[in-house]
Amino acid sequence: MPKLEYEDSSMNRKYSRKNQTIAMVIMVMIVSLVIGAIGGVGGILLMSADNSALAKKLGLSDFSNLSIPTTRTEKIVVEESNAIIDSANKVSSAVVSITQKSTVTNLFGQTYQQEAAGTGFIITNDGLILTNKHVASDLNATYSVIMSDGKTYDAKVQSQDPFQDLAVMKIDAKNLPVVELGDSDQLAIGQWVVAVGNALGRFDNSVTVGVVSAKNRKIDATDQSGGSAETLDGLLQTDAAINSGNSGGPLVNLKGQVVGINTAVASNAQSIGFAIPINDAKSAIESIKTTGRIVRPYLGVRYLEITPDIAKANSLPVSYGALVKAGTGLGSVAVIPSSPADKAGIVENDIITEINGDKIDQNNSLIKLVQKYKVGDDIEVKLLSKGKDKTVKVKLEEGK
């Protein structure tokens, strides 16, 4: 019996040691799993009271006071915010508020002062300011320009663009801050942009942020009274808030470069604004710098852009191009007498299909293609005339 008891006792010790070893292995595994879980969630679990107690039981330090590391998403948000701030700071000193005062006579012969406001930005350090034509439309009005530091200058309209909603104003000043122009052709849909302007004519240098929602938009724009209708195409669409008074202000990329001129907003929608691409204005800017006025080439026709629906409804032989056609206004003609088109033999109901090999379609309007060239340039115009293909040479002249 003693021997059996001994052997039993010896076996118990052996089993006891073996059980201790297994228990130790299990404990190490549990600790490893707990530590792995703690590391996997960045220490978040140990922040609770229960897990702090568990950590003490396991002989670990209490990590409840440790801060959670900044995530990668937070870092990206900070970088984007800094870029927006830097972009706004870079351009804001060259953004100006424009006020217009004019004398208006009503139906009863009474006169009163009318005020309007807009935005512009400085393009030369000697005081040339780019804005919208509808901001500087009244050549008899009195204009003032207020700088970002509050200083005010009298201003005059230097020139208006005959084909786009652009105008250049001049103030008598030197050594002014100027904007940097970007490349609007490189913009991508979804890219961040910043709008800066005199919102509502009261809140100068207001900054709003959004993205490029679309490109090559075409709209029929009117002023608040419903008059002065104008068709604009090739526009940028953005959801950056553009309010009354923002017209003529810059649309800026995150490098602080001007990529558009804010010009219109959809009044029956939210966050749908439009801007003229800066590349469409560069020839006007260069023209004003070299000649003192905006010089644009023109063809001299009125036309209807052909779409598949229009082609089907009118049994046209092609579903693209520009149908030379008179407008609905009294005295409107399809081809302006003595214009380049008239001299080249283009007549009403001709369909212009190409300019120097570039097809006229919904992405490339006739006027947009013509504006690629300069006054005096010779271009080849391909058209359908009475059902036959025809190519004529046209020498572009200055539009009035």
Active-site hit among 92, 97, 134, 339: 134
The question of whether 365 is a catalytic residue gets the answer no
Distance of alpha carbon 303 from alpha carbon 305, whole angstroms: 6
161, 165, 233, 350: the catalytic one is 165
Element housing 98 (H / E): strand 95-105
| Joined tokens for residue 288 | 């004003």
134 among known catalytic residues: yes
Catalytic site residue from 159, 184, 213, 247? 247
Structure tokens at 34: 């707990």
Handedness of CA 230, 231, 232, 237 (dihedral sign): positive
Amino acid at 259: V
Count the Cβ atoms, other than its own, within 10 Å of residue 184.
25
User: Kindly report the CA angle at 215 between 221 and 162, in degrees rounded to 5?
Assistant: 45
Q: What is the DSSP string of 125-153?
A: TTSEEEE-TTTS--TTSEEEEE-TTS-EE
Q: In degrees, to the nearest 5, what angle opens at C-alpha 227 toward C-alphas 224 and 232? A: 90
Of the candidates 118, 132, 254, 89, the one whose C-alpha atom is nearest the C-alpha of residue 182 is: 254
The answer to whether residue 165 is catalytic is yes
Radius of gyration of the chain (CA): 35
Distances (CA, A) of 349 to 120, 144, 324, 336, 337: 41, 47, 5, 14, 16
Burial (CB < 10 A; 0-12, 13-18, 19+), residue 291, is exposed
Residues noted as catalytic: 134, 165, 247
